[in-house]
Amino acid sequence: MERNHCIAEAESRLLHTYNRFPVVFERGDGVYLYDTEGKAYLDFAAGIAVCALGYGNRAYQAALKRQTELLMHTSNLYYNRPTVDAAQKVLAASEMDRIFFTNSGTEAIEGAVKAAKKYACTRDDHAGHEIIAMNHSFHGRSIGALSVTGNDHYREPFEPLMPGVHFADFNDLESVCSLVTDRTCAVIMETVQGEGGIYPADPEFLKGVRALCDEKDILLILDEIQCGMGRTGEMFAWQNYGVKPDIMACAKALGCGVPVGAFLMTGRAAASSLAPGDHGTTYGGNPFAGAAVSAVFDEFERLHVPEHVKAVAPYLEAQLDALVAEFDCLTQRRGMGLMQGVVCTIPVGQVCAEALKNGLIVITAGADVIRFVPPLVITEADVDKMIIILKKTLNTLVKSVINR
């Protein structure tokens, strides 16, 4: 389908919930995407931190092809080997004990919240428990996930939301402590805030919340949907801190393009939580999804992905720091591993649009942050190419501002 026709058809038929860039991607190879006209784009967004292996990984593709020829779906009324294999690998990497596969990160959050509420109901023999979440957080767009998302812009059109959610300030332990009552069942946060502007948790804050939860028998839920799966140099970001959650949500790079998420629990939390009839999913954990997750973990091991991230991330950080020093419109870099953000005084939507014209894909985080979440297989040479294009982009925009 010709580019303009495809865009026109999409605009006339798809629900307008996205302001899309005027490009139609057709294929990918390595860390590049190609549009219908054959133009190459260096991808430093990875489908919003999804395509950790880049594009065209042969082993991953072969595993998916094999599974389509065997069995795609049976429902969770029966067992299947691919999902059992996937569960073993995810649990071993995460140091958790139980897993429930979902179709998305939002659904993983929904399950995590339900699990925490059921745990408290079992403990106290009554319902009506409350949750502490973080300001500027993002956990998804369903009603339950929105309820624990600390951004009024996302929440207000859909209120009233789930009651009993109170918002603390991220990296402010006292603000969390001040909200705890005998009805608090969980504290939920991203280990590295993503949409809110790329803010890693302070070690003292995360350790303090963990100690508070242990003291009060409150469950700690860590959202690792974007920051997990090797992006920070460990398989899961909390492993950089040595602070283990009771429940963890995971998705995005878990399937590297196949829609799959999961919430994981410790044995203690699982033993007093969801039981048969409490939760379910038709598609979650089907053989195809299981085969995808299993293949992702195999490739992470073969390619030593977390180790590679630890090796290349300092170079990305150094180049971004140099960029901040060079351009007055850039004021700060922050992040962890290959999840980085640069604060920009030029409207970041304009930066992304101009970068796209120049063959670079970057995205935003919050109102003023350029976000870099590339495939985890990028090299220093890819970083150099990205910096060249971004410099060209910023120089163009700076000149346009001066000439107004």
Query: H helices within 141-279, ranges in order?
Result: 143-147, 152-155, 173-177, 203-216, 267-271
Confirm if 102 and 137 have CB atoms less than 8 A apart.
Answer: no
DSSP lists the bridge partners of residue 100 as 263
pLDDT at 220: 98
Q: At 328, is the secondary structure helix, strand, or coil?
A: coil
pLDDT at 1: 65
Q: How far is CA 317 from CA 288, 313, 358, in A?
A: 37, 6, 22
pLDDT at 378: 98
Complete edge-to-edge strand list for the sheet that includes strand 360-361:
25-29, 32-35, 40-43, 360-361
Q: What's the gap between Cα 129 and its chain centre?
A: 27
Selected from 2.60.120.620, 3.90.380.10, 3.40.640.10, 3.40.50.300, the CATH number assigned to the domain covering 71-303 reads 3.40.640.10
Q: Enumerate residues 6+ apart whose C-beta is below 8 A from 76.
A: 280, 281, 282, 284, 285
Q: CB-based burial of residue 200 (10 Å sphere; 0-12 exposed, 13-18 middle, 19+ buried)?
A: buried
Q: What's the gap between Cα 162 and its chain centre?
A: 23
Count H helices, E strands: the chain? 14, 17
What is the Cα–Cα distance from 273 to 253, expressed in whole angstroms?
27
Minimal CA–CA distance to 259: which of 69, 84, 108, 82? Answer: 108
Q: At what angle do helices 305-326 and 380-402 cross, to 10 degrees?
A: 30
What is the Cα–Cα distance from 193 to 80, expressed in whole angstroms?
35
What tokens appear for 286 in the block? 């089907």
CATH number for the domain running over 3-56+305-402: 3.90.1150.10
Mean pLDDT by 10 residues, the chain (404 residues): 90 94 96 97 98 98 98 96 98 98 98 98 96 98 97 95 98 98 98 97 98 98 98 98 98 98 98 95 97 98 98 98 98 98 97 98 96 98 98 93 66
What is the Cα–Cα distance from 191 to 199, expressed in whole angstroms?
9
pLDDT at 404: 63
**8-state DSSP, 237:** G
pLDDT at 2: 87
Q: Which helix (H) or strand (E) holds 8?
A: helix 3-13
pLDDT at 399: 83
Per DSSP bridges, beta strands 219-223 and 184-190 are parallel
Per DSSP bridges, beta strands 130-134 and 165-168 are parallel
What is the Cα–Cα distance from 342 to 325, expressed in whole angstroms?
11
What is the Cα–Cα distance from 245 to 112, expressed in whole angstroms?
11
What is the Cα–Cα distance from 62 to 58, expressed in whole angstroms?
6
Q: What per-residue string of b and e applies to 157-180 under the rule 16 or more CB within 10 Å gives b?
A: eeeeeeeebebbebbebebbeebb
Instruction: Give the domain ranges of the chain.
Output: 3-56+305-402, 71-303
Minimal CA–CA distance to 42: which of 277, 314, 362, 258? Answer: 362
Q: How far is CA 125 from CA 251, 266, 276, 395, in A?
A: 32, 21, 18, 62
Q: At 43, is the secondary structure helix, strand, or coil?
A: strand
Q: Omega of the bond prior to 160 within 30 degrees of 0, cis?
A: yes
Strand ranges, E, within 237-373: 247-250, 261-265, 330-336, 339-344, 360-361, 363-365, 369-372
